[in-house]
A and B are shown apart, each in its own frame.
Chain A
């Protein structure tokens, strides 16, 4: 039934775009700081999928020229995402100690 079809680069890019959009919605609309961080992680994941699919499909990088450079960038994105998650969650815990909440619309110390 699915023999006539084929998975191409555009398929992966569309999935990646949908996940990026969903991550944007989560990051912008959630109230809890941890939920906002979940959205940011989903957006980073979508970017990783784009990098890996270009590295797999694109003929701009023939074999032997730049093999798997996209994978190396994914490794860097993973590193930065881990660092960002550690610092952001530490800040959430710190804010909770001061204010007893992590709701982003109740953290209004600069409100004057």
Chain B
């Protein structure tokens, strides 16, 4: 990963993603915070692309920046009387302390650990032309049981969401 394009893309996309996260935190309007969240998701998809993860990047755009963002828009619009000011609760200082502490610990461990990582030629050799076929083989081969469990989980979660918000008719409630 020494080519100038990759290095520039990494720094720009990291700045976009982290900046989007910071704007979600400090934005004074919930809808604006949601827009910055979508920006952070798109930056993260770009970071996945720099890691040669094409399928994951497209899935990230479709699922996170697409459907989850739309779900959040629906949740905001279905709660019209709730506060929209993206206000903080009383726990800002403990939250800041734990968040900064967690980021510092993870970064410290990542920087001091001598990772056995691939570099240069080995990294280029490890680069598959496309990841979709390999992911498909793994999902329906070695990881077929988790795949089925995940599909059942998704089905029952969506069923549960529909049952939760289902408005019972006036005939039932009387």
Which A residues fall within an 8 A CB radius of B? 2-3, 5-32, 34-35, 37-39, 41-42, 45, 48-49, 52-53, 55-60, 62-63, 67-69, 71-72, 74-76, 78-87, 89-94, 96, 100-105
Determine which of A21, A80, A104 lies in contact with B103 in the assembled complex, contact meaning CB atoms within 8 Å: A21
> Given A28-B95, A29-B96, is A52 in contact with B33 using a C-beta cutoff of 8 Å?
no
Identity of the chain A residue whose Cβ is nearest the Cβ of B153 in the assembled complex? A83
Task: State which of A29, A38, A87 has its C-beta within 8 Å of the C-beta of B72.
Answer: A38
Chain B residues engaging chain A, CB cutoff 8 angstroms = 1-2, 4, 6-8, 10, 14, 17-18, 21-22, 24-25, 30, 33-34, 37, 40-41, 44, 47-48, 50-53, 55-56, 59-60, 63-64, 67-68, 71-72, 74-76, 78-79, 81-83, 86-92, 94-96, 98-107, 110-111, 113, 115-119, 122-123, 125-126, 128, 131, 134-135, 138-139, 143, 146-147, 150-151, 153-154, 157-158, 160-162, 164-165
Determine the chain A residues whose CB is within 8 A of the CB of B102 once the complex forms.
17, 20-21, 24
25 contacts between A and B (CB under 8 A): A7-B7, A11-B14, A17-B105, A17-B107, A18-B21, A18-B107, A21-B99, A26-B25, A28-B91, A32-B86, A34-B75, A34-B76, A38-B37, A45-B64, A49-B48, A52-B53, A57-B115, A63-B126, A68-B131, A71-B53, A74-B56, A75-B56, A76-B150, A100-B81, A102-B82
A103 — which chain B residues lie within 8 A by C-beta? 82-83
Contact assessment for B135 and A89 in the assembled complex, using a CB-CB cutoff below 8 Å:
no
